[in-house]
Structure 1
């Protein structure tokens, strides 16, 4: 959550970013940018005031009025779509709402990032935390040779400092440290539109073979084996050879046509990659038993516009979904000899930008569109039509809270009621679909009808583009945008 504060030197608010758009360059300011000062310290009542704060003798109307005041949104809380920053105002995070919060500036913005699983264990809840990731830069056109694929290690990510009386005994072992970002860079000659990592099953110590696929603005897709780069973080004095930073595969099937859609299959350990471009074509590339790669040059076709997103099914090895600016979502069977979709649904009146398949409930698919609406679909309600025409079923849930395009949507890895959404209004929101207001609670929400009860948390991040749940740190989110990287964990998830 964020609050407004006055700042005479604050720049004008930046516009949201759509796929492929380049943000203005943001100079790196180093780790100092990770520290926040709480300008909203708690005020405590005197002992006499506390003693007088009972409810004895007060009429019900007075107590109900107090309860209603407590339910109203703090006027200093910034809510996109309802509030706008005035000239000279900027936003400061409400630190009491975070368990962890770190922001890191980069020389060039990275509009795509992916979290890499590590060997530090699952279900980690102690601090300081460590995160590994891969990201791709978007340098200015005049300086394209400065682009790189970044292999990242973020360590020393401390828990937010709390008042002594709020600390739990179980947290006494948590250390307060300075966050550190280490990077291993792989030179690129073009911007990265989308990056995704793939690993085989984690076994034993060290990193398994880790592949990073980068979809370039040039139309090529480069696959790198970043295993040695990850291992070098924990091997002091190790030196990477130039050959270790060369692509293991260059996919040229898109013939210099730019693309944004990219996804590895979670069910094929050796590695199977989907790639889609602005001409509507989708290709598959498979890693062979010998470690090579083979691309099927016969594309899947049917979209009448850009393939904005691709998502493999988490439960069926041959099924995947696609989203397009032709306003449709399509379901495909990779075994189809016709290379046509088996289901097609008109999911929006605008571009459908992003998709996410539930990890826990295989028939649930979330989508985000250009009009700021994100929705949840039950695939069991989708029916094929004659001639491949698009059907128009209704979503099981739809939210229009965001007023700018949705740029990312992702289900929580272990809870199919929790969803992460990023949008062009500079916010990343967390949602709990299991929340429903009862009649008593509804009495106190009369002033906030445009804030759905399922909205769990709003995180402000300048020009945010993507966010991902960390699979091994419950509730932790790793995000990227025009101003750098963010790692946070709220007290509510």
Structure 2
């Protein structure tokens, strides 16, 4: 099933559940998006800067207050899936009391894909507010404005904790010390002439602790080319105001031209420090690119072949340096060994009757693999049961909750029972596979129609495309859709706070 029509105005299947975006109302003489300083119209610098709301509050909170002021009836009750039903004219708004962190930030065009960049600010920063984080994303401009596309190296800062009013909050002393700030998104833009289908980061640590390592970004585009950029200077420039990024630094250090069609599958090996990249396309071809000792990049022209339709996702094994898995719109997941001279899959398993869009390989329990398909079903598989042949193993868990295709799925980096899922029904859902029906935490949801007890939290993101856990700020998630959403549910509400 093709994910993008050849001509966006000529119909056809959309990419990951979303048509070409409508042009946004942007003044080229102002900053990147709708969040601007209400008292200042000029740039503060050459860099592009956004502020999330003129008063720093989430849109939902501000809209609810405006609705109340205008005399509109606002229902502040909790919406429970299976128990409640939206009446005509009603809309869901987030229960702000269930969030520790919630900020939305806009970009000139929507981003189909992004990746979080690990930083030097430390790990386990769950109480470090206002929070700062770094990411890279590629845009999907309107079809007639492809030349406006860009690869955005971003710094999110001023991400303040939600104000707490509960006197019994055990962290109230910490709250008093939290600095309140306006959320800001700074961006260094690398020009592209095509939509980014997927982008992924690879970081090479320096052997000298006093010297920063290198950060590379691979970008798979609609043009069928894959670009590798060194964004090390772009990241450094955030801490050195006035730094000018040169045109040469914006050029890719390597361009992969092996693919004859566009693709969406892209992954760096976590076990090869120098850099080893897999890319898969709509023709079912998978190519491997490796960084040489001299710092160059070489693509093996012999593709891995086996899928009968487009390769939608690739994941390297977190444990075996020569093993990877691929998911396809042919409904299969295939496991490969790069040492095989035949370039054929070692194991093929039919996991769905429709497109398998996304996949995630657990970094903690390495025999667990999660998949998400076009019907909105996501499943967990035990790779120890995959023996090959005609045998069709069953998933150890499967959930048919989402009402549209799954567009992103990811295991928690430090908890092998936690999974986050994004789908085309505008939902990002948080799941705990350790929850059983008879657990104390699930009494409020057990027996409720269409609500699995493993469902912990639901967050609305319009046109949700991709979601990632932040590896250094525990429990914090970043999602992209019509805009970026940075949020962290309050841990004590897990299991009951579905809005």
TM-score by length of 1: 0.85
Residue correspondences, number = 439
CA deviation string 1:350-406 (max 9, x = no partner): 111100000101100000011111000000000121xxxx54110000011111110
Deviates more, 1:448-457 or 1:86-95: 86-95
CA deviation string 1:27-47 (max 9, x = no partner): 43112446232759xxxxxxx
Q: How does 1:57-456 map to 2 (within 5 A)?
A: 76-77=78-79, 79=81, 88-125=89-126, 126-163=128-165, 165=167, 166=169, 167-201=171-205, 204=209, 207-255=212-260, 257-385=261-389, 391-438=391-438, 445=445, 448-456=448-456
C-alpha displacement of 1:176: 0.8
Determine helix, strand or coil for the equivalent of 1:18: coil
* Structure 2: 5+ residue stretches without partners: 1-12, 26-32, 36-50, 66-75, 495-499
Contact persistence 1:431–1:456 (CA under 8 A): yes
CA gap of 1:426–1:26, structure 2 versus 1, over 3 A, is farther
- Decide which structure has the larger Cα Rg and report it: 1
Q: RMSD between aligned alpha carbons?
A: 2.2
Contact persistence 1:344–1:391 (CA under 8 A): no
Determine helix, strand or coil for the equivalent of 2:187: strand
Contact persistence 2:214–2:230 (CA under 8 A): yes
Contact persistence 1:110–1:480 (CA under 8 A): yes
Determine helix, strand or coil for the equivalent of 1:231: helix
CA gap of 1:445–1:488, structure 2 versus 1, over 3 A, is closer
CA gap of 1:83–1:332, structure 2 versus 1, over 3 A, is farther
Structure 2 CA distance for aligned equivalents of residues 168 and 18 of structure 1: 42
What does residue 464 of structure 2 align with? 464
CA deviation string 1:148-195 (max 9, x = no partner): 000000000000001161352234322111111100000001100000
CA deviation string 1:439-477 (max 9, x = no partner): 877775465132011101000010010000001000111
What does residue 22 of structure 1 align with? 20
Determine helix, strand or coil for the equivalent of 2:249: helix
Determine helix, strand or coil for the equivalent of 1:91: coil
Structure 1 CA distance for aligned equivalents of residues 413 and 288 of structure 2: 25
Q: Which has the higher contact order (CA 8 A, sep 6+)?
A: 1
What does residue 30 of structure 2 align with? none
CA deviation string 1:59-78 (max 9, x = no partner): xxxxxxxxxxxxxxx96426
* Structure 1: 5+ residue stretches without partners: 1-14, 41-73
C-alpha displacement of 1:291: 1.2
Contact persistence 1:119–1:206 (CA under 8 A): no
CA deviation string 1:122-152 (max 9, x = no partner): 1112100001000000001111110000000
Contact persistence 2:21–2:141 (CA under 8 A): no
Structure 2 CA distance for aligned equivalents of residues 205 and 163 of structure 1: 43
Contact persistence 2:367–2:384 (CA under 8 A): yes
Contact persistence 2:52–2:182 (CA under 8 A): no
Contact persistence 2:99–2:489 (CA under 8 A): yes
CA gap of 1:344–1:445, structure 2 versus 1, over 3 A, is same
Structure 1 CA distance for aligned equivalents of residues 142 and 85 of structure 2: 30
C-alpha displacement of 1:23: 3.0
Contact persistence 2:412–2:418 (CA under 8 A): yes
Contact persistence 1:353–1:368 (CA under 8 A): yes
C-alpha displacement of 1:84: 6.9
Contact persistence 1:102–1:157 (CA under 8 A): yes
